[in-house]
Structure formats: structure tokens, C-alpha cells
Structure 1
Amino acid sequence: MSTKTNSGNFFEDFRIGQEIRHATPRTVTEGDIALYTALYGPRFAFNSSAEFARNMGLESAPLDDLAAFHVAFGKTVPDVSLNAVANLGYAGGRFGVPVFPGDTISTASTVIGLKENSNKQTGVVYVRSIGTNQRAEMVVDYVRWVMVRKRDVEAVVPEQKVPELPGSVAASDLVIPAGLTTAGYDVIAAGSPYLWDDYQVGEKIDHVDGTTIEEAEHMMATRLWQNTAKVHFNQHTEGQGRFGRRLIYGGHIISIARALSFNGLANAFKVVAINGGRHVNPTFAGDTIYAWSEVLEKLDIPGRTDVGALRLRLVALKNQPAAGFTLKGEDGKDDPAVVLDFDYTVLMARKG
């Protein structure tokens, strides 16, 4: 048989400092926006209404920031995580210029860390990935780490290093869209009267609603983002694996939880940073996702009095409502119901 096909990189194929330009640039369309809405149900006015966005100084309603993240992320899968066991976490992520229909996103990655696991069958690969538009402007820039299978358990990786991961993104490093204004911000159209001033550090918000994941939905999403990781789409191979079925793409859970957060954070109109995050436990079709948020920090934006930032902890649970839930069991370990622990920063209009 021909060997022209791509079997993906295994752990021993990576090297510290390796730079990878990923294939298949993706032009975003109105269809992507419609599918994103159908899959996750977000209701943020900034991304839903062209008129709302124009009143805030943008040319039109931009693509949801997490949709832009998924497009950029999907490009990396054939080179970074085609042979992954699991995507483990994120750090130091920033969103750049807004993405509009007609923009084309490309992604490149640099390997910044490698650590073989003690079982010698897998290792963790750390990469920094940058998505850019057709003008070479940064759309999203983030670090992630993923557990990848080895092709040969006896293979030796010449250099290993666990990188120092970026901490939370400082207010001065957040990218504010050019021309953004909240002078005429319409809280009625946005769906909530609560602005930046109304939230307090330590406040916890139960987003109340739940969303059950259907098999067809997560498969459609995996294909929409051109995510080719076997753990998500191939039941023939994954049915024989550890879990006996396909795993839900972790980004799918992030977008569901973010959409659920509208109920309580409707005026958190734009995601500007991913400070950190873990996919704590696997999720499968048929699971119902609930979410709650905690306000970790209130940030002033340098030179701005009309908009502020909230650093939030977003926790997603499967088959377990958030009310009264404790994250850790008596043994100090993560509860099996926790599927996502996500630290991110949003923009929100201020009063006055």
C-alpha cells in the first residue's frame, strides 16, 4: 500500500523548538456562525446582532471568540494531537483582532516542552500556537499541552523539558478591539442589567441551566472545526480503547459552558484571555453539562473608564447541577462530575 498518507506525529517525533506551520487555512463564513449558534446556543448580543456590534464601534458582529479559537485549534490537530490520548490544559491565551465572515485563519505552532510519562507509552507535548488572519494579525495566541502516544515504547527523546507556563494575562496585555466603545451600551438588548460594577471578587454564580450533548452534535462540531483526532470521531478504534467510546472534544465543553454562562453574565460580551484551564474528566454523548462561575479578579483597563475586565473561573459539571456542589471529594481528589475548570477573562461595560 502507498505510504503517502499522514499517520500523525507520535511523542518521539517532537523536538524542543520545533516549528510547525499547519495546513488548511480556513475562511470563516456566515454559515460557521449559524452552525456555532445551533451547536452551543450562545445568546451574547455582541456576536448575535450586527446593529448591536456597530453601536459598539465595530464594523459588524464578530465571530464568537471561542469559535475563532476552535478554528485555529483544529488546524493543529493533524500535526500535534492526531495520536493524542487527551488534551490536558491551556495557559497564557490572548485573543487579538476580531474575526469577521470572509477572514481566513491560519495557525502555526512551536514545541516548547516535552515530558515522557513513566509508563513509557505516552508523553506530554507542550506547544504554543498562534492563529493569524489574512493580514498576519494575531487572532488567538495560546499554550496547550496534550498527552500523545509513542509509536515505539523503546524510543528515546533526546531532550525533555517542562516549560514554565504563563500565568494570568495582565490587564495591560489584553487586546481591546480598535474603536470599541460602550457609550451607548444597551443592557435591555444585551439581556441583563448587571454591569462590571455589580460583580464582586469571590462571588459565585450558578448558571442554572443544563445542556445534554447528543452524539450527532459533537460529531458535527468535531468535523466543523476540522479536528481529526481519532479519540473524537472513530468509534471503530476508540471502542476498543480505555473508555470504549469516543471522547467529546474538550473545546466543545468550553463552548457549552460559556453559552450557559449567559444566564448570570449576559454582559460579558467578549473573551479576551484564557489564563488557564484543565479538562478534568472525560465527557461522552448523553452527558448533561451544568456550569457555575466565580469572579476571581476585577481588572481596570489602562486608559479606559467605560469598560472593565472580569477574570472568571468557569467550572463545568456532568450530570450534576451546580447548586451546593463541592469540587473535591473527601480524599482531596477532583470529583468525577467535574469536566472543566477554566480560568478566563472577559470584557464588560462599566456604569457611568
Structure 2
Amino acid sequence: MTKSNPGNFFEDFRPGQTIAHATPRTLTEADAALNIALTGSRYALYSADSFAQNCGLPGAPIDPLLVFHTVFGKTVPDISLNAVANLGYAEGRFLAPVYPGDTLNAVSEVLGVKQNSNGKTGVVTVRTDGFNQDGLPVLTYVRWVMVNKRDETATVEFAPPQTPSPFVPPVQLVLPMGINFSNYDFTLAGSPHTFEDYEVGEKIDHVDGMTVEEAEHQIATRLYQNTAKVHFDAFGQHNSRFGKRLIYGGVAISIARALSFNGLANAQIMLGINGGRHVNPLFAGDTLYAWSEVIAKEDLGDVGALRLRLVALKNQPSSSFYYKTEIGEYCEPVVLDFDYWAAIPKRNGTRALP
């Protein structure tokens, strides 16, 4: 009897099934530093204890996307080890900040299963919750993933999930406890622009590009303990259908978010993930560019929130704002369409601008 775990196939999932994922992960300052090395992120709140303390926090928290990728990585051996593709995200909320020394665990609930017409694969929808060492929820999100069947003749009960909300309602956004921008230092943050300076419909070219190398994306994916074969095994029986390693979509998200610093340096705190799609594959040697669109603005009191569409393109500068064709299909260079909420200081909630 084999002792290795082949992972779940499509027919192994049942609606209502709860899966507690293995390998809790304690995040440290070393993880935060390595994450910066792999993404180039420059958001001051996650880079300097002194800056975070001036904003009312005990120290620099862990970048929310590193939290997301770590929780996501816990789920891969059980949810998507045998996946064809990760199709999208929705209803994501960051519920509490994570600090160096905190330990993350993850639990998922299967919301729906729907076999594809080819009879070889199906779509599984799950809600994953991440918790710290005290059992406090720090993250929740829904994702749907296309998974191979082990046995094409297996019968699977049809159970489609409810359609996810198109965006997280602002009333459900959770600001980090203690956050206070009254002493916010715009010079150290890298930009003078506040909530009031952004307009709905505005598009921002983030100008810079970053080439993703083979070693970098594999180190990043290992950092998250994501074991999906398509990111590592180019030659095995479960290799990518492209015949080479596929870069984990979370790497594209984090690099695109890091690039968005140039134009959105003060939109520091990711509060929610409204939706996200990995549109086209990304491979080692491709260069990522990014642009953002302000979809909506919300006054949260002392803090503002921007709803942002972050679009990442490969090997295509973002100044053209490539997105979709006239018939609604994504343009070929687009690799990521990511919709999220971010908190940003308001002019009347901070000290006078220099």
C-alpha cells in the first residue's frame, strides 16, 4: 500500500466537505525580506517598523499578499495538486494583520462541483479561511479551480455554488486595528497623492517592467509551499500542457502589485480581493508590466478606499492600456486581471502635506 498522497481528483470532492490543511507556517522577518527580494515591493508600511509605528501599528506587518500566498499554498496539496488551471478568486477579505512570529493555518469548505462536458475534468469551488495561532481569522476568499478526474467514468454529483458577489461591499472591509494616518509621512512613503487626488475612471501607467527568471519564480513558489506540479515539473506525467514550467499566478499578482507602487505608493493596505483571473500563461523570461484603473472610491471615515483594477501584461509596455478586444476577449499580452480594495490616507485625516 502506497504511503504517498496523490492529491484529490475531481471525483473526490463533495459539496459541504471541510478540509483542514497540513503544515502550519510561522512567518518571520526573514520571510518578509525574501518576499521583498523576489518582488521588489517598496510599500513603506511593510518595509519599516518605524513607519508602521507612526501609523499606529506595533511594527511592520507581513505584506497581505504574502499572507494570501502562504494560506493558498496550504490548500494546494488537497485542492489543486491535480489541477489543470486555477480559474479565479472572489470575496477575499483581509480580516486582521499578520506580524512576524504569527503562525498561519488554513481550512477549506467545498462549495460546489461541476463536471465539464469533456468528462475528463471539472470545476471545484471552495472557500478557504486562514487563521493565526490563536484561531483568529486573518483571511477568507473563494476560488474556483479546474481539476482532472482520476477515472473518466466516475459519476459526480452536480452541485453548482452560488454566484459569488461581484465585489466586496465596503461595509465588510476591515481596517487593521490601531491604524492611524494622522502622522503619515508622505515623503517616506514615496508619493504626495491622497484619496482625494484619484478619480473614478482614471488609468495609471506604472511605467516600470520586471523580467521574471526561472529561479526567482520557483523560489517564490517554494516560499509559499505551493506544491503544484505545473510550476516545478516540466517533464513528468503531470507536467504543464505547455511543455514547460508555468509561473504560479500569485507571482504575477505580487510583482504587478509591486510595480503599482509607482503611481499608487500610498494605496498601501490591501483590504479585499473582489475578483481575479489569470488570463494567459506566464513563463520564465517574460517581462511583466502593469497598469491600474480606479473603479470606485469609498470614504471609510479617517481613511479612504480605492477599488482598483490591476492589469498585468507580458512583454508589452502598459502605456497602451491593453485589456480587452472589441468582442470582449482579453488581449493576448494580458496575463492578469485583478480587482481589489486598498486603503489610502485622506488629506483631512493626515498632517499637512509638505
- Asked whether the two chains share a fold, i.e. TM above 0.5, the reply is yes
The amino acid that maps onto 2:152 is V
**Matching of residue 195 in structure 1 with residue 187 in structure 2:** no
Partners in 2 of 1:112 and 1:240 — Cα distance? 28
Residue aligning to 1:277: 276
Q: Kindly report the root-mean-square deviation, in angstroms, between the aligned alpha carbons of the 2 structures.
A: 1.2
> In the TM superposition, what is the alpha-carbon distance from 1:96 to its structure 2 partner?
1.2
Deviations 1:207-239 (Å, cap 9, x if unpaired)? 000010000001101111000011111122279
Partners in 2 of 1:185 and 1:331 — Cα distance? 44
Aligned residues: 348
Give the direction of change, closer, same or farther, for the CA distance of 1:188–1:234 in structure 2 (3 Å limit): same
The amino acid that maps onto 2:121 is T
Q: Is the 8 A contact 1:238 1:244 kept in 2?
A: no
TM-score, length-normalised on structure 1? 0.97
Structure 2 gaps of 5+ residues are 349-354
Residue aligning to 1:312: 308
Segments of 4+ in structure 1 off by > 6 A? none
Q: Is the 8 A contact 1:239 1:245 kept in 2?
A: no
The amino acid that maps onto 1:52 is F
Give the direction of change, closer, same or farther, for the CA distance of 1:287–1:53 in structure 2 (3 Å limit): same
SS of equivalent residue, structure 2 residue 347: coil
Q: Within 5 Å, which residues of 2 pair with 1:7-156?
A: 7-156=6-155
Q: Is the 8 A contact 2:230 2:245 kept in 1?
A: yes
Residue aligning to 2:339: 343
Partners in 2 of 1:167 and 1:240 — Cα distance? 33
Structure 1 gaps of 5+ residues are none
Residue aligning to 1:329: 325
How many percent identity over aligned positions? 61
Q: Is the 8 A contact 1:239 1:246 kept in 2?
A: no
SS of equivalent residue, structure 2 residue 250: helix
SS of equivalent residue, structure 1 residue 134: coil
The amino acid that maps onto 1:322 is S
> In the TM superposition, what is the alpha-carbon distance from 1:33 to its structure 2 partner?
0.5
Q: Is the 8 A contact 1:194 1:267 kept in 2?
A: yes
> In the TM superposition, what is the alpha-carbon distance from 1:330 to its structure 2 partner?
5.1
Partners in 2 of 1:200 and 1:330 — Cα distance? 25
Deviations 1:258-290 (Å, cap 9, x if unpaired)? 000000000011000000010011111111000
Partners in 1 of 2:328 and 2:102 — Cα distance? 46
The amino acid that maps onto 2:163 is E
SS of equivalent residue, structure 1 residue 91: strand
Q: Within 5 Å, which residues of 2 pair with 1:230-245?
A: 230-237=229-236, 241-245=240-244
Partners in 2 of 1:176 and 1:113 — Cα distance? 30
Residue aligning to 1:300: 299
Partners in 1 of 2:87 and 2:62 — Cα distance? 26
Partners in 2 of 1:171 and 1:49 — Cα distance? 28
Single out whichever of 229-238 and 188-197 deviates more from structure 2. Answer: 229-238
> In the TM superposition, what is the alpha-carbon distance from 1:199 to its structure 2 partner?
0.3
Single out whichever of 16-25 and 323-332 deviates more from structure 2. Answer: 323-332
> In the TM superposition, what is the alpha-carbon distance from 1:159 to its structure 2 partner?
3.1
The amino acid that maps onto 1:75 is K
The amino acid that maps onto 1:343 is D
Partners in 2 of 1:286 and 1:239 — Cα distance? 22
TM-score, length-normalised on structure 2? 0.96
Single out whichever of 230-239 and 210-219 deviates more from structure 2. Answer: 230-239
The amino acid that maps onto 1:185 is Y
Partners in 2 of 1:321 and 1:268 — Cα distance? 22
Deviations 1:177-214 (Å, cap 9, x if unpaired)? 11110001100000000011100000000000001000
Partners in 2 of 1:137 and 1:171 — Cα distance? 21
The amino acid that maps onto 2:317 is P
SS of equivalent residue, structure 1 residue 85: strand
Q: Is the 8 A contact 2:229 2:238 kept in 1?
A: no
Partners in 2 of 1:219 and 1:345 — Cα distance? 28
Partners in 2 of 1:240 and 1:88 — Cα distance? 18
